[in-house]
Amino acid sequence: MKKLLKITLALMMALGLQLTSLKAVNALNSDLSKVGTYQIPIKSLTSSAPMPVVKKAFANAFGDTLEVTVDKDGKMQAVATLQNMIINMGSEYYANVLTIANGTTLSTKVEKSTQGMGGETLEVEVPEKISFELPQLDENNSTVLSITVDFMNYFMGQGKDYPTNVTLTLDLDNAKELQKEYVLEDGTYDVPVSVLKENSDDQSMAAQAVESAQITVQNNEVVVTLKLKEMTMYGQTASVDKMEYQLKDGTYKEATVIEEEDGHPKKVQFKLDENKELTNVKFYYGGSPRGAIARLQLKLDGLTKVDPTPETPKDDEDKKDEENTSRFTKDGTYSVDVALWNATSDKESMAASAINSKAKIIVKDGKATMYLSTKEMSFGSIKASLQEFYIGSEQEDYKNHGATIIEKDAQGNPTLWAFELPHENEYINVMMNPHVAMMGNMDLAARLKIDYTTLTYVSDKTELELNTKKDDQQENTNKDQTANKENQINENQSVKTGDQTSIQLFMTLFIISITMIGFILRKKHEA
């Protein structure tokens, strides 16, 4: 009996270690999972050299922090700002990092360098910043790097490269995301804009108040013009009283009102103190003296200049017709590639699998209507289909611009939608709802990306031809019935993550242990 109890307790301890390990790995992955540039404190830099004085000198070779850039594939590129090292072995010997494996020198500086034991100390040009590919970190947020140091090359390598391994450990808990500063050409640009919460990338409630943004650039000075509108909060309508923006010294300054409506700002204007994507702002509304803090996100990448609209002489209508820039040269049916993208980031939406990659556009009497087909998608073990689809963003009156359902499957799920193209730009703001109760049954924001480089004229037909083949219908019905059965099974099962499964196993073992302890105590009592 004691043996069985020991086995149970051992299992519980093993599971506890497993859960701890999972937690550490998950923390690592979540800290550097988002594309961006981070300033990360260096927890330690430990040399493999056995001498304590060398280890001590190497400890600060990379300074206090490392700059790490994470790309869309999860690869990490680091920049180390190198420090002059002093090795104290009775006398002071000066040393400098010369190379880091798979690294590139970005800049140089002049520092003292000692050419080995008893060697001469000179002032030489050495690397100041080195960019290198950061290898995968382990569960301790550590990785091993191969470096060369001038002093070690003379001391141990007789003047040749003498590679030394160092273990770099990062403090990911205190990583700070950095912003890129943009240099922009003179001109006027329409800018995608979002209003994010103060401490997360979720949309702020104040996002409803910002309708659009435009910037004007002159000598790299950026003036932002925001168009504001009413917002709804807790069933009440409110207008912005004023808006403040943060300067680089941390203070706030009120934006200039350039247009009003009913005593409230309709358009405000301010100059960016720093040409960065995110600017802290405060919105005041409802007469409150306290401003709601948020982050104004201006997407400054890949902007297209707004061409000023020239006045067209009344007697020059023919020239105006010639300058028509519509992508659709004539009425008929077109094919084009489409994708569902995130509302604010240039990546696929969580619901990207819900739409087919090919769409039809039918142009009749100059009016373009898109026909978009949708299909079942998965969220873990949950399967769902889009039930509502709207044209517009959260900041727009999207509820009054719903797409029309053209076809449904055997279960009543929409499979084909139609809507008039609001414009011919690459991205169209959309809102959708798959009616998933566990996700709050809420409208989700996204962007429909239309790849106009694939636009192909198919035929001169201006009416939609629906697929009425019985074989195809039967095949689709069979697929739908199978999917419906899977959905019914999934609805009867709770959604389980890896962590939840581990926790349930832990609780099972815990209950078994308690039961066995009770059994043992009862036997002792009976004896």
| Separation between Cα atoms, residue 175 and residue 178, nearest integer Å | 10
Q: How far is CA 339 from the centre of its chain?
A: 17
pTM of the model: 0.41
- The sign of the torsion formed by the CA atoms of 449, 455, 461, 466 equals negative
How confident is the model at residue 181, as a pLDDT? 82
Query: Which single residue is written with the structure tokens 């800018």?
Result: 191
List residues bridging with 58 in a β-sheet.
none
Burial of 280 per CB tally in 10 Å (0-12, 13-18, 19+): middle
Does 34-178 carry CATH code 2.40.10? no
Task: Yes or no: say if 280 and 233 are a contact pair by the CB < 8 Å rule.
Answer: no
Residues contacting 158, CB < 8 A, separation 6+ = none
Alpha carbon dihedral 4, 7, 8, 12, in 10-degree steps, equals: 170
Per-residue pLDDT reduced to its tens digit, 407-445 = 999 999 999 999 999 999 999 999 998 887 655 577 888
Per-residue pLDDT reduced to its tens digit, 131-144 = 999 998 999 999 99
| Separation between Cα atoms, residue 406 and residue 410, nearest integer Å | 14
How confident is the model at residue 325, as a pLDDT? 72
Q: How far is CA 358 from the centre of its chain?
A: 26
| Separation between Cα atoms, residue 447 and residue 340, nearest integer Å | 6
> How many angstroms separate the most distant Cα atoms in the chain?
114
List residues bridging with 123 in a β-sheet.
112
| Separation between Cα atoms, residue 127 and residue 148, nearest integer Å | 12
How confident is the model at residue 203, as a pLDDT? 87
Q: Please tell me whether residue 367 adopts helix, strand or coil conformation.
A: strand
Task: For the chain, 527 residues long, give each residue's pLDDT as a single digit of tens.
Answer: 444 433 333 333 333 333 333 232 223 333 566 777 888 999 999 988 777 888 888 999 999 999 998 887 888 999 999 999 999 888 899 999 999 998 999 999 999 999 888 889 999 999 999 999 999 899 999 999 999 999 888 888 888 888 989 999 999 988 888 887 888 889 999 999 999 998 888 888 888 889 999 999 998 899 999 999 987 766 677 889 999 999 988 899 999 999 988 888 999 999 999 888 899 999 998 788 888 899 999 998 878 788 654 444 444 444 444 445 788 989 999 999 999 998 877 788 888 889 999 999 999 998 999 999 999 987 667 788 899 999 998 777 888 999 999 999 999 999 999 999 999 999 999 999 888 765 557 788 899 999 999 999 999 999 998 764 444 444 444 555 555 545 444 444 433 333 444 445 555 555 665 666 666 656 555 65
SS3 for 260-296, per residue? Answer: EECCEEEEEEEECCCCECEEEEEEEECCCCCCEEEEE
How confident is the model at residue 438, as a pLDDT? 56
Strand 427-433 to strand 388-391: parallel, antiparallel, or no bridges (unpaired)? Answer: antiparallel
78 closest CA partner among 128, 135, 35, 146? 135
Per-residue pLDDT reduced to its tens digit, 239-291 = 899 999 999 888 999 999 999 888 889 999 999 998 888 999 999 987 888 88
How confident is the model at residue 193, as a pLDDT? 93
Q: Look up residue 236 and give its amino acid.
A: Q
Q: Please tell me whether residue 346 adopts helix, strand or coil conformation.
A: coil
- The sign of the torsion formed by the CA atoms of 45, 46, 51, 52 equals positive
Domain ranges of the chain: 34-178, 187-298, 328-463
Asked, colleague to colleague, whether 34-178 and 187-298 share their fold, the answer is: yes
Helical packing angle, 498-526 and 2-31, nearest 10°: 160
Does 328-463 carry CATH code 3.90.1150.10? no
Task: Yes or no: say if 215 and 192 are a contact pair by the CB < 8 Å rule.
Answer: no
Pick the CATH number of 187-298 from 3.40.640.10, 3.40.50.11810, 2.60.40.1850, 2.60.40.1260: 2.60.40.1850
